A and B are shown apart, each in its own frame.
Chain A
């Protein structure tokens, strides 16, 4: 719920994912706008880089641990940490405590950060509150990103929020929960399998009759958009933050 006016204004640290920083700054700006609307100060810790997923999933546990400690140091003092990506949020919430569980001091710090780290849609749905916005009529379908869905249980939060966007009609595609084939390094190691997976997704998006596809993770979104563009389809892709902030016109 929104903070009452008597209490001190809370501050949320914004996690800018590697992909958002490089490919789609508008996503981070959208989050800034959404948090400000909810009366929350946004802080962008300066020295953030990568949450350590590549190391962790590549089997380099010790470097993943170092990345975790670096992130914890920067965000642990803030009231909240908000992450516009299901997979980075899951990394911090689920995997940091696991990575550091044998380290007495760091284990507590990891758990402390995990408790105040939120993926954007769950933050808006459960903590900050979201009043909705208006978009010019848009028929959209939502792709459930794997990490957000299965590690953080983000099934209803994004749909609830999209339900508060006036002018937006949400249509469900077939197999919305099926992986898009991104998978970090997977798409580079097994491009043919990755292509098979994204091609199925594109067919389902097309069949849904939607004009655009929305996702909560930029990795998925770039995979879907990249394939749509290669195939010459006009369907656009949006990060959910962009839609919720009413930025679909200028993205």
Chain B
């Protein structure tokens, strides 16, 4: 599926297709009930969860207020550990930096591990286009690479696929090796077999980062498969791609966030693999990469500091807001047409594109508030989505008819007598369209309502008429 503009119409079309895709719907139900229940259990088992959230929020606020200092400290610490930090304003710049590193170290075979920032940069495509051999090594990402698809979830990228989809993909692309049938175990073996060869060849391992620790220059990465570790252990060159807001002051902070992250994401106490990478191989040591480079992408984030959207920089990419969002449940991740889907994506994506393209995703919310309720760092996602709506309304980006109707309604509401007459008129029109107390088909805007449900007919008099009669 391709990315689009994210206009209400586009999202509506895309979600309609998704709603008709039974496999996808089953996958989404599984995801939401599985992760939802796991999170609820994990939280019930940790009485201090809410206190941790408050602390995490404070630490995030504090760090963002001093972001340049902590980034500078991180760079210093990385240098002390024998590594380098490279700064990129835009995804394009970040890609060029990675390519430069490939050239400098003479690397053509790259194993890459899951990273949303990598997705934001479209790094794999870029390097492939340049002539490198890049392979995604996390199972989900690997499958998507074979299918030439984008992730549909920030921590479970191939959650929209089921075992049959994967078996089909492997059969179509693995040729001779694709003999393992449809059992999950067999499919994993098959992918592992393929990937082993790539790991052996690899000269460079590219990973993402969950946290960057300013105090020590450590890069913290959590995964559930451990392939990132394998890549970093085998390849002589390690390149980390990350974004600037992932910096935290101390290791202690990183562990605070880790506790919240795993529980919010998958309901685990801690992720299966939590790796800490600090610098390059020490002199005299026998393992670790020979070089260690961190590419830090801004990508529009520093513009969010001190703006009404600043709080989205608190996000630790746990995916809880996706796992609990009733809109995401129906639409699936691809319908958003942005790298980051769901509620956090509706807030973050438009900021990263520094344009208006994904702004309209903020319309696709009932403001039910479930995302805010589950967010481990208490990001007020509905409030931030409302700010995007305000921007769209203010810049005349929202549809013309909608703006006219909103203004018209507001004007009417300021004229109570007129308001009452219009409501009376509406009431009698609606009654005329009804049969047996119900309206089953409405014209115009109302059609959207009666497409799938009926509307009760209004009674003969409005409350205000009845109230006046009584006086």
| Interface residues, chain A, with chain B CB atoms under 8 Å away | 16, 18, 20-25, 28-29, 44, 46-50, 52, 54-61, 63, 66-67, 70, 146-147, 149-151, 177-179, 181-198, 200, 222-223, 225-227, 229-230
Instruction: Show the binding face of B for A, using Cβ within 8 Å.
Output: 8, 11-12, 15-16, 19, 326-327, 329-331, 363-370, 372-373, 386, 389-394, 398, 402-403, 406-407, 409-410, 412-414, 416, 419, 423, 426-427, 438, 440, 445, 448-449, 451-456, 458-459, 461-464, 466-467
Q: Is B458's CB under 8 angstroms from A54's CB?
A: no
CB distance from A54 to the nearest CB of B (A): 6
Q: Is the CB–CB distance between B455 and A67 below 8 Å? A: no
With A21-B462, A182-B366 as known contacts, state yes or no: A191 contacts B448, CB within 8 Å. Answer: yes
Q: Is the CB of A61 within 8 A of B390?
A: yes
Given contacts A22-B423, A52-B413, A54-B406, 16 further A-B contacts (CB under 8 A): A25-B459, A48-B416, A56-B386, A58-B398, A59-B393, A181-B366, A183-B366, A186-B365, A188-B448, A194-B452, A196-B330, A197-B326, A226-B453, A226-B454, A229-B456, A230-B452
Question: Majority SS of interface residues in chain B?
Answer: helix
Q: B390 and A67: CB pair below 8 A?
A: no
Structural contact, B462 and A151, CB atoms closer than 8 A? no
Whether B410 pairs with A63 at a CB distance below 8 angstroms is: yes
Tell which of B11, B414, B456, B463 touches A25, judged by Cβ atoms closer than 8 Å: B463
Contact status B416-A49, CB under 8 Å: yes
Q: Specify which chain B residues have a CB less than 8 angstroms from the CB of A48 in the assembled complex.
A: 416
> Can you report 9 A-B residue pairs in the complex whose CB atoms are below 8 A from each other?
A146-B369, A179-B326, A186-B365, A191-B448, A191-B452, A194-B452, A195-B451, A198-B453, A230-B440
Shortest C-beta distance, B435 to chain A (Å), equals: 12
Do the beta carbons of A20 and B463 come within 8 Å of each other? yes
Q: How far is the CB of B50 from chain A (nearest CB, A)?
A: 14
Contact of B449 among A150, A191, A197, A229 (CB under 8 A): A191
> Cβ of A178 and Cβ of B452 under 8 Å apart?
no
Known: A23-B456, A54-B409. A190 touches B15 (CB 8 A): yes
Pick the contact of B369: A150, A195, A222, A226 (CB < 8 A): A150
CB < 8 Å neighbour of A57 from B12, B386, B391, B407: B386
Nearest chain B CB to A56's CB is how many angstroms away?
Answer: 7
B330, A193: Cβ atoms under 8 Å? yes
Asked whether, in the complex, the Cβ of B462 is within 8 Å of the Cβ of A25, the reply is yes
A60 adjacent to B407 (CB under 8 Å): yes
Knowing A183-B367, A192-B19 are in contact, say whether A197-B330 is a contact too (CB < 8 A): yes
